[in-house]
Amino acid sequence: MKIACIRAYQVDLPLIEGSYNWSGGKSVSVFDSTIVAVEADDGTVGFGEVCPLGPAYLPAFAAGVRTGLREIGPSLIGWDPRELGALNLRMDSVLRGHPYVKSGVDIACWDLLGKNSGLPVCTLMGGRHGDAVRLYRAISQQSADEMAAKIARYRDEGYTRFQLKVGGDPDIDIERIHAARDILPPSHRLVADANTGWTQHEAMRVVRATKNLDVYIEQPCETYEECLAIRRGTDHPFVLDENIDDLGMLLRARSDLAMDVVNLKISKLGGLTKAKQARDLCVAMGIAMTLEDSWGGDIATAAIAHFAHSTPEAFRFTSTDFNSYVTVCTADGAPQRMSGWMKASDRPGLGIQPRMDVLGDPVLEIR
């Protein structure tokens, strides 16, 4: 089996709630997603998706995905898509860095491998653990009362994990955290995710003002060193996300005991192959994980489901279903939430069938 063609499709994904707001006044109302199709010489096609959270979250932007594919795509024609280690080395040799560019190709090749072998991706990634994957709901930044009301609604739909978008004015964030925790039972988990938005002294104020609450603190500051200082100044469970972008940083954070949970995003790491490396290392080191991506629709959600469902339950803190946040369906067969849970498909590959009428004509084709 050889790669014969790589195509990219651009799809807009409007949000059901109208907008998604997080630290620093950043906001997105329509996500720009790239769906990657890798066609083998036997006609089999695998699909992947890359959807950055706007251009100001991580060092990634939507048009950069498609520009990067133009750079690496010609060098992949003729390579065996099932040899994922070799393929990733090839992509890294052609383009230094830019892991998000490579993620869609890697996911599509996992889909091809599954279709070729007749197995679901989660089976190929280590096997299915448990009946379903527990989801969290991200609560976009608004007033304390509005955010609490959204939590109550999603709680009633079956969600038991909530990621509260903070990282703004610390006094308002303290109100947000208290209001959210007040309406949740003790068994529900609340994560206050600042997305790097606080300075070190602001973060310290927040953790002290919420000292007696059951809340996780996620990525309070921009730099690793600032986050480590806050970690050492609080006994709240601690999550790192933006700073952990490769195995070296993961090992450094483990050595420093800098976190209790790590957020592994597929495209931040460069695809399912490298995300699996980080996941397996976390399991070996006893670190729990949030398993997800930056954003996306049905295909990204399918990849997340296989990634998460193949992770041992003891280390699976939570995951997410991005296709339930957007108004456009791009593929049939994608996981659908059920009372705050989702399952990976048991069909070969990712188990999805893209809606080509929604994808439209490719914006890029490489042969």
**Distance in angstroms (rounded) separating the CA atoms of residues 194 and 236:** 14
Q: How many CB atoms lie within 10 A of CB 95?
A: 16
Burial 173-191 (b: 16+ CB within 10 A, else e): bbbbbebbbeebeeebbbb
CA-nearest of 298, 284, 237, 287 to 262 is 287
SS3 content of the chain, % helix, strand, coil (to 5): 40, 25, 40
136: which residues sit within 8 A by CB, 6+ positions away?
A: 159, 161, 162, 163, 189, 191, 290, 318, 319, 320
Q: Give whole-number Cα distances, 176 to 44, 183, 342, 360, in Å.
A: 49, 11, 28, 42
- Residue carrying structure tokens 């729990």: 288
How far apart (Å, rounded) are the C-alpha atoms in residues 17 and 143?
15
Contacts of 43 (CB under 8 A, 6+ apart): none
Is 211 catalytic? The answer is: no
The C-alpha atoms of residue 350 and residue 147 are separated, in whole angstroms, by 34
User: How many residues make up the chain in this entry?
Assistant: 367
Q: Which of 26, 115, 150, 165 is an active site residue?
A: 165
Q: Is residue 265 flagged as an active site residue?
A: yes
- Residues 137 and 148: their CA atoms lie apart, in Å, by 12
**Quick one: how far is CA 329 from the chain centroid?**
18
Catalytic residue among 102, 115, 265, 274: 265
3-state secondary structure of 288: strand
Give start and end residues of each alpha helix (H) in 118-216: 121-124, 144-156, 170-182, 200-209
Query: So which residues are the catalytic ones?
Result: 165, 265
